[in-house]
Amino acid sequence: MKYHIVVLGCQMNISDSERVRALFEKLGYTFTESEDEADILGVIACSVRQRAIDKVYARIHKWNKMKRKQERNILTFLSGCVLESDEKKFLKTFDFVFKMGDLDKLPDLISNYGVTMPGNLKNRNNLTDFWHIDPQYANNFDAYVPIQNGCNNFCTYCAVPYTRGRELSRSSQDIISEVKSLIDRGYKQITLLGQNVNSYGSDKNGEEISFNQLLTKIGEYGDSSGKEFLLYFTAPHPKDFNEDLLYTIKKYKCLANWVHFPIQSGDNQILKKMNRNYTVEEYEKSVNKIREILPEATLFTDIIVGFTGETEEAFLNTKKAMEKFLYNMAYIAIYSPRPGAQSHKWDDDVPLEEKKERLHRLSDVMQEKSLEYNKNLLGKNMRILLTSLDRKGEYYQGVTEGKIVTRVKKGEENLVGQFVNVKISEIAPMSIEGVLVE
């Protein structure tokens, strides 16, 4: 029997789907790329975003139509970041909806529908809880490792504390053993995932190590392993950022020189309204520390434009911040109220056209600043991890240690999943190009 899963969300949802896939495989199902062949069809979604909700409905309507037409016993499910208030609504169209933390109950949910599972049901006894499910990673060189679930920060635009619940740290023993096993198996890029990674462990009342200690343990093992790989983490919250972490990154070669540091807005009034709990001045101090301790690091950020109450003046403060902090990449999102989040009750008072215009103005700054940075890379030899091939199979897509997207002309061999030396020959805003060197 076959299953098919569609992921409509962020890295956390991708990581969730890797565990769901592992569970299906344990139960004896095989993955199919084709929705038409599947006996079970599922969506792992960030259902708090309207666009994702629209896509979820588009899928399920298509699948339900297929079910009626094919007259087959196809099961459909939804999981991911689903608001409790939405669960009932979705249950009208999906056969079942479950929270990711209840993944171990999936076999029971399936058998409730009278479906006999293909594999040995004894496998179910191996299932403990979500963290202990060995994920089915998307490939053999790049893996996400969740280190916590949920969030206590209640940023007013975000529904995560309501969809995923309060912050819960995974045991450091489990994280370290998953990371070690990935290193030993030759994974090249490992990303620790959490909603606020630097508060890792704080829910355990002193019984768990800190995030910095966790990185230190991984750094020690990684550097002594003799394997070439890079460890990333996302996302830290600026209010909890501390410089010890930067010294740890500096100390261990395997900890990547890359900092994802979401500013969200460059205006103190808006930051307050977002409940971010830092000021632009405090954020700037942290950026100065990053530049001082990790001068080679690239800096990525997240920005929301057009948040409720964002005046032109407030927006200009964000633009100023972008010009000052010289980001290599900014994920800029147009604000849209998310059901479940506090700001959903507020007037969404910046017109869409204005939001789009602000996004374009920030993108222009982004392009200009990243191009300035990339100019310094011209002619350099860099270590690049090749991550995929383009459609025609003529160029690799890869990334530098600082996650700058790099295009590399393919030779005879297929080197996807490997680190290679590349001489940078062309630059563009937010990307570079180069040729393989011996």
What is the binding site for ligand SF4 (CB under 6 A)?
151, 153-155, 158, 160-161, 195-196, 237
Identify which of residues 153 and 336 has a Cβ nearer to ligand SF4 in the complex.
153
Nearest approach, Cβ of residue 313 and ligand SF4 (Å): 24
CB of 280 to ligand SF4, least distance (A): 17
Interatomic CA distance for residues 292 and 289, integer angstroms:
5
Question: For residue 287, which of 269, 260, 256, 309 has the smallest C-alpha distance?
Answer: 260
Listed residue (192, 150, 148) closest to 170, CA to CA:
148
CB-CB contact of 179 with 145 (8 Å): yes
Choose between 74 and 158: whose C-beta lies nearer to ligand SF4.
158
- Using the minimum distance from each CB to ligand SF4, give the nearer residue, 277 or 418: 277
Q: How far apart are CA 134 and CA 20, in angstroms?
A: 10
User: Which is nearer to ligand SF4, 107 or 150 (by Cβ)?
Assistant: 150
Q: How far is the CB of 237 from ligand SF4 (least distance, A)?
A: 5
Q: Which helix (H) or strand (E) holds 31?
A: strand 30-31
CB neighbours (10 Å) of residue 92? 7
Query: Which is nearest to 27 in space by CA: 135, 106, 140, 137?
Result: 106
DSSP sequence for 334-373:
E----TTSGGGGS---S-HHHHHHHHHHHHHHHHHHHHHH
Cβ distance to ligand SF4 smaller for residue 165 or 429: 165
Nearest-CA neighbor of 299 among 382, 378, 404, 386? 404
Residues composing the chain: 438
Q: Which of 260-275 are b and which e, b meaning 16 or more Cβ less than 10 Å from the residue's Cβ?
A: bbbbbbbbbebbebbe
**Least distance from ligand SF4 to the Cβ atom of residue 379, Å:** 39
> CA-to-CA distance for 15 and 103, rounded, in angstroms?
13
CA distances from 436 to 207, 228, 382 (A): 48, 18, 10
Angle CA(305)–CA(234)–CA(261) in degrees, nearest 5? 45
Output the smallest distance, CB 302 to ligand SF4, in A: 8
Please report how close the Cβ of residue 48 comes to ligand SF4 at its closest, in angstroms: 10
Q: From the CB of 22, what's the least distance to ligand SF4, in Å? A: 25
Q: Closest approach of Cβ 167 to ligand SF4, in Å? A: 8
Between 333 and 377, CB nearer to ligand SF4: 333
Q: Indicate the residue among 95 and 167 with the shorter CB distance to ligand SF4.
A: 167
**Cβ closer to ligand SF4: 7 or 48?**
48
Residue 5, strand partner residues? 42
Give CA–CA dist 165/113, Å, rounded: 28
- Minimum CB separation from ligand SF4 for residue 13, in Å? 13
How deeply is 320 buried, as exposed, middle or buried, from its count of CB atoms within 10 A (0-12, 13-18, 19+)?
A: middle
Structure tokens at 27: 């139960």
Nearer to ligand SF4, 9 or 107 (CB): 9
Nearest partner of 107 among 170, 36, 28, 7, judged by Cα = 28
Q: Measured between alpha carbons, how far is 76 from 63 in angstroms, rounded to an integer?
A: 8
Nearest CB to ligand SF4, comparing residues 165 and 417? 165
Q: Closest CB to ligand SF4 among 149 and 212?
A: 149
Closer residue to ligand SF4 in complex, CB, 62/166: 166
Kindly give, in sequence order, each residue whose CB lies less than 8 Å from that of residue 416, ignoring residues fewer than 6 positions away: 141, 386, 387, 388, 389, 396
Report in angstroms how near the CB of residue 332 gets to ligand SF4 at its nearest: 15
- Beta strands (DSSP E) in 288-430 are 298-305, 329-334, 381-389, 395-399, 405-409, 419-428
Minimum distance between the CB of residue 149 and ligand SF4, rounded to whole angstroms?
A: 11
Query: CB 106 → ligand SF4: shortest distance, Å?
Result: 25
